[in-house]
Amino acid sequence: MKTGRQWIVACFLLVSSYAVFAEVIVPNVIGDPYEENREYLTIEGFKVYVLPVQQYSWRGYTLEEREDERLRAIRKVTAQLKVAVSLLPPDPINELRTRVILYMDDTCEYGDAKETGKTFKTGKVFYTPIASKDDSDRKLGQVTIRCYSAFVHEYPYKGIVLHELAHAWHDLFLPNGFENYKIKTQYEWSKECLHRQHKPYWKTNAGEFCAEMSCAYFFRSKDVPHTDMSMSEKNKALVSAAWQDPPNLDEFEPATGGCSDESQVTLNEGEEVIERKRSHIAAH
Ligand SMILES: [Zn+2]
């Protein structure tokens, strides 16, 4: 049984730690987070900023319809955060809650149509590091979700938020962040040796490799290897070690040299080349 004094100390710690966190986070929001229509939510322990819909007509939707899409986007983020929180290891999730915010806005059209010769981009989900405003070296991260209608209708994959949180873990918690040597080395080998008949998204770079392997290991990926059942043993070991808290990559030895027998491990998925459905929507 706690004494009264212990309760006071506990409450003080709780309030002060929240105040420190709020101080770090709030300056990164443009404008007043409490202004009308702007929501400042805590979902599954993550801070989520939700901006109002943009005040112009878009694709013929009325303001009311777009407001409805905004609420649906919040529900979708909530569902995806539940997936991530229930599947990723609990200690890293707790760490990510203190260093990552989610930011949702209704930027539905951007880019230069003449330059690309195509239509404007209409939505985007991506991770970016943000500088801490408290003069410390502590980096923070932000997952941005743009354009409520696009997010609601054009992103069927249920692991988008998990994928973005994996980028955050890679950047903020692994030694040297995105430059982590062991991830890069294992990526180079995997790109060369695994799924040679496929062009999965993770072959883009070491960052996408780490994020997609995390999705496959803890949930499922859109591309091969879809689940941990078809991952190489090395990559399973890598993901498992990377998601320790703190990450424990010291004993992980990346595969090097030529492609070994292990590169054959996934051939049982068949010869079919799964063409990813490429769209103008970018999720990174
Ligand atoms: Zn990505």
- The 10s digit of each residue's pLDDT in 143-169 is 999 999 999 999 999 999 999 999 999
Q: What average pLDDT score do residues 181-205 get?
A: 95
Q: How far is the CA of 170 from the centre of ligand 1 (A)?
A: 11
Which residues lie closer than 8 Å to 230 by C-beta, 6 or more apart? 216, 224, 265, 266, 268, 269
Q: How far is the CA of 160 from the centre of ligand 1 (A)?
A: 9
**Co-location of 40 and 147 in the same domain:** yes
Decide if 6 is inside a domain.
Answer: no
Decide if 78 is inside a domain.
Answer: yes
Q: How far is the CA of 5 from the centre of ligand 1 (A)?
A: 48
Decide if 134 is inside a domain.
Answer: yes
**Co-location of 152 and 184 in the same domain:** no
**Co-location of 146 and 200 in the same domain:** no
**Co-location of 129 and 188 in the same domain:** no
Q: What is the pLDDT of residues 120-149, one digit of tens each?
A: 667 899 999 987 666 667 789 999 999 999
Decide if 46 is inside a domain.
Answer: yes
The amino acid sitting at 1 is M
Task: Name the residue among 84, 122, 86 with its Cα closest to residue 100.
Answer: 84
Which residues lie closer than 8 Å to 266 by C-beta, 6 or more apart? 194, 195, 224, 225, 230, 231, 232
Decide if 18 is inside a domain.
Answer: no
According to the model, what pLDDT value does residue 260 have? 72
**Co-location of 202 and 132 in the same domain:** no
Q: How far is the CA of 284 from the centre of ligand 1 (A)?
A: 3
Cis preceding-peptide flag for 246 (omega within 30 of 0): yes
Q: How far is the CA of 211 from the centre of ligand 1 (A)?
A: 6
- The pTM of the full predicted model, rounded to 2 decimals, is 0.80
**Domain ranges, residue 240:** 177-275
Decide if 64 is inside a domain.
Answer: yes
Q: What is the pLDDT of residues 253-268, one digit of tens each?
A: 999 878 875 555 444 4
